[in-house]
Structure 1
Amino acid sequence: MENRFSPVRRRLLLASGALLLSPKLALAGAQREETLSDDVASVMRSSINNVNPPRLVFANPADGRRWLRDMSSRLARFVPDAAERERLLINIHYEASRAGLDPQVVLGLIEVESGFRQYAISGVGARGLMQVMPFWKNHIGAPSHNLFDIRTNLRYGCTILRHYNNVEKGNLVRALARFNGSLGSNKYPNAVLGAWRNRWQWS
């Protein structure tokens, strides 16, 4: 994919040298630690702690099977193992859907944030597929939560993005910028939405 990173991010990547060339590292913005109202924190905490078996959320099971086949073929360039792709896609679809998000947009976000690397770490400490900052565990989760666990990371990431989308009254561009810690710039939202349009859009 061409030019996934902004000029500032490319400079940071080059300046960090060999450390950031490790396949376990990712380059992401820094979600901003903020004070949440008790009501908002309670709703987000409930979402994090409400764990159910993941499944595809389609009214027609045949559509779900078609989606899974199609997305699996697109994801193969990032995740070679077919069983791992299926597990990842089912979790993404379930966690995005239960948060009221478009799973296709979440796929674009994960591509930009981590390249679908489960153990990715950014230079500012964001972790996992959706590059969640560890401070969120203190606000809406538990210190014992493992942000490298696929389901945990997706649950946190989708809950956080839904929160930002609510804050921005449905303005996805601004919600994505908040998620990346770059509110005021459209570079990150454009990268995510570009990935969505170019690879993950589905009907």
Structure 2
Amino acid sequence: MRLRNKPWAKDKIEQYPQYVVADPEAVKGNWGNAFAENQPLHIEIGTGKGRFITEMARVNPDINYVGIEFQQSVIVSALDRLIEAELPNVKLLNVNAADLKSFFANGEVERIYLNFSDPWPKIRHHKRRLTYKTFLSLYEGIMPKNGEIHLKTDNQGLFEYSLTSFSEYGMLLKFVSLDLHNSDFEGNIMTEYEEKFSKKGNRIYRCEVQYRKK
């Protein structure tokens, strides 16, 4: 899907440094001080328009959240949500997630959410998938020994690939649902894509995996 260019997005982002952290490298290792309260830190990679991260922050005030989105024309929608919600426990980063180690210290992030990530369906693009082993190593470098990844997608191919990738990396599969919306799972917060795809009748897949202590 082609994104509509918003030439004003950069200026708006710069007007709200209290919500979009301008220099995350300067905060590395001290994210607890970036929020009103020093609490456990969870991040979402590919936060999109911010529905998920904002609602998670609303229902879990004892957790701090950071939503990461590379596209300026998309993150401004998340910024609008955050301005309206006025939540003290969520921040946004307009950065490339490939540089996570520049923004977070070892053990600083307890949980990572991967919601409806690009499936990169062509075999030659498999290294770009956010559950490829190099990304799993990247995440491990900013998480404690028992850090968790929570994944949701409507793409069966990506889900199956991810389960295999997690297993081959030696991670513990704590929860797997092959049809989330027809399961007994409680407390699910939908993303914009999740609502769109589920209305089309697409099955939603979800899993929770944990790094093993070494």
For normalisation by structure 1, the TM-score amounts to 0.23
Highest relative contact order (Cα 8 Å, sep 6+), 1 or 2? 1
Hey, which of these two has a bigger chunk of strand by percent? 2
For normalisation by structure 2, the TM-score amounts to 0.23
